[in-house]
Amino acid sequence: MIQAYQKEETMADRISVLIPESTVDAKIKEIGEKISSDYAGKEVHLICILKGGVFFACELAKRITVPVSLDFMQVSSYGDGTKSSGIVRIKKDLDDSLEGKEVIIVEDIIDTGKTLHYLIPLLEHREPASIKLCALLSKPDRREVPIDIDYLGFDIPDEFVIGYGLDYAQKYRNLPFIGVIDPEEGLVEMDEKLTADDTDGEK
Ligand code: IMP
Ligand code: MG
């Protein structure tokens, strides 16, 4: 699937486009339409996982035609500095109750799956009417715990991606496409970086 995307060089040849802006936008429109029809006659409560999910959540919300409310949560994983434990610390909790709501969690990417594996039961405990997961990207090869993704943009290979909310050391979130940094140019010790920094709150 990914191989079909044309790779373009940009930003002084350091960043390659993995999924172009038009392809991401078309996919978000498609997911928005699917959610709108699945939730016809209902309201949806989107929970955006900060910071990475914010660009996706905003674009997605614009494409949903049933009434939408939005709330935000920021999490990070406890770890020993080199390995994520999968235990999530809530850095910013939701403002509103979930009770009786049709909740959709909106995430940038599902990697090991540990964050959502911890978060979903925690949110289920708050008694929403339903809870579903929507992710722009997934790296199935990296999965350590099983996660059902109800609405998924793209499966991608095990590469470190940036853009559309995803960062490398807090940079590149604003890129309007999904990109990869050329390994020979940057991303030294990326494996260490990924495990050490765990989830979004720290990255
Ligand atoms: P996990 O599914 O618990 O392993 O963690 C997912 C989180 O790790 C995501 O929400 C991102 O913040 C971060 N992450 C995983 N892969 C990437 C990547 O390729 N680029 C940027 N952030 C990533
Ligand atoms: Mg994230």
Q: Is the CB of 32 under 6 A from ligand 1?
A: no
Region of residue 162 (left: phi > 0; alpha: psi -120 to 50; beta: else): beta
Q: Whose CA is nearest to atom 16 of ligand 1?
A: 111
- Give pLDDT tens digits along the chain (203 positions): 343 344 454 444 489 999 999 999 999 999 999 999 999 999 999 999 999 999 999 999 999 999 999 999 999 876 555 556 677 899 999 999 999 999 999 999 999 999 999 999 999 999 999 999 999 999 999 999 999 999 999 999 999 999 999 999 899 999 999 999 876 555 444 444 444 344 454 43
Spell out the residues 6+ positions from residue 186 whose beta carbon is closer than 8 angstroms to its own. 14, 168
Task: Tell me the β-bridge partners of 47.
Answer: 71, 105
Say if CB 119 and CB 88 are below 8 A apart: yes
Given the CA of residue 53, which atom of ligand 1 is nearest to it? 10
